[in-house]
Structure 1
Amino acid sequence: MTPISIAVLSLSMSADAFAAAVGRGAVQRPTLPAAVRAGLVFGVIETLTPLIGWAIGVAAASLVEQIDHWIAFGLLAVVGGKMIWEAARRDPDEAEADLPRTGMLALIATAVGTSIDAAAVGVSLAFLGANILIIAASIGLTTFLLATIGMLIGRAAGARLGSIVELIGGVLLIGLGLKILLEHLGYIAW
């Protein structure tokens, strides 16, 4: 693969993580170190999933391609639904300090949900004989940077809009999961 192809692949694999990070940033309102830690979680998982997919290779390609969209949809729908539930339950007059903080498990679930497609990409890269280590590192680094920036963007928006941004973030996560599902089922092409 050419460096331009790797860059395009890295950006496209990172887009979902960026969108999810904006939503999470609105909920958590992270400091810079917390945003960097969340970016690292997204980046590490996004690095590992194409490696896992590549390792699975040709033998399991049909299995991964058949269920990756359902797994991604399920994880994103659960996390998005939780965000919507918490936004709807919250009293708008609550103090900012009382905003719920999502935990590491929710962060990991979100990161896995946004990176399932990267496993399928890893499987396809095995067919091409591509240098998976360079590609996975590029995807991981790009995801780390975009997710960190997304967390900080969400923090800024969340400070002004509170529960509304959390609600929108939840809807966007569910929408993202639905988009992945519909693309893989062949109903839409983006």
Structure 2
Amino acid sequence: MDLATTLLIAVALAMDAFAVSISGGATLREDRGRWALIAGALFGGFQAGMPVLGWLGGVTLASFIGIWGPWIAFLLLALIGGKMIVEAVRGNGESVQFAAGSMAVLFLLAVATSIDALAVGVTFAVLDTPILWPAVTIGIVTFALSAAGVLVGSSFGRVFGRRVEILGGVILIGIGLRILFDHLAL
């Protein structure tokens, strides 16, 4: 597989992580750089690791993930997005945030946004394509876009306040719905 194709795949896989990073960054008020690095590393790490797992699992794992993966991603994103909206509307200062939401929230988001990368890894296995360089490329691209997303989201969050938190929750639910509808349309 050529570099251009690999980069296109990497950018496509990173879009969900980028949108989630914008959402999480919107709730940040301090330590933007630190959280940009943390989110980038976690999202990039999962996006790099999942294709390797998919590649190792091959066709057997693809049938299980193909059935349940979109549902799992949808449920995780809908729950986190819904909580984000509810907390923003309540205005009690407790919203789903990278900084206050703990690493568990960020971990769940990283898993939810990287399920597609698992299926891509299976595709690489079926095509008998080596996985090392595509996985590294996917991880680097996702790291860069996720870190940038946190910084962009943080800038908008300062200007628009809680409205961006609501928008962030809607984005998460929308991503989950898109994953589910794409699956159901097949």
TM-score, with structure 2 as normaliser: 0.92
Q: What fraction of aligned residue pairs are identical, expressed as a percent?
A: 43
Contact 2:32 2:150 in 1 (8 A): no
Question: Where does residue 34 of structure 1 map in the other structure?
Answer: 35
Residue 135 (structure 2) aligns with: 136
Residue in 2 aligned with 1:87? Answer: 88
Give the conservation status (yes or no) of the 8 Å contact 2:73–2:176. Answer: yes
| CA RMSD in angstroms, aligned pairs only | 1.4
Counting matched residue pairs gives 180
For structure 2, the 5+ residue unaligned runs are 94-98
Instruction: Report how far residue 60 of structure 1 moved.
Output: 2.3
The whole-number CA distance in structure 1 between the counterparts of 2:60 and 2:129 is 17
Match of 2:44 in 1: 43
Equivalent position of 2:159 in the other structure: 160
| Cα distance in structure 1, aligned partners of 2:62 and 2:37 | 33
Question: CA–CA distance in 1 between the matches of 2:116 and 2:60?
Answer: 17
Give the superposition deviation at 1:28.
2.3
SS at 1:130 equivalent: coil
Contact kept? 1:27, 1:102, Cα under 8 Å: no
Measure the CA separation in 2 of the matches of 1:106 and 1:61. Answer: 26
Identify the range of structure 1 (66-75 vs 145-154) with the bigger mean alpha-carbon deviation.
Answer: 66-75
CA drift at 1:101: 2.3
Distance in structure 2 (CA, Å) of the matches to 1:183 and 1:104: 29
> TM-score scaled by structure 1?
0.90
Q: Are 1:176 and 2:175 matched, yes or no? A: yes
State the partner residue of 1:24: 24
- Superposed structure 1 runs of 4+ greater than 4 Å apart: none
Aligned AA (1:131): P
Instruction: Name 1:108's counterpart in structure 2.
Output: 107
Native 8 Å contact 2:50 2:117 kept in 1: yes
CA contact (8 A) 1:27 1:101 kept: no
Q: Distance in 2 between matches of 1:103 and 1:26?
A: 16
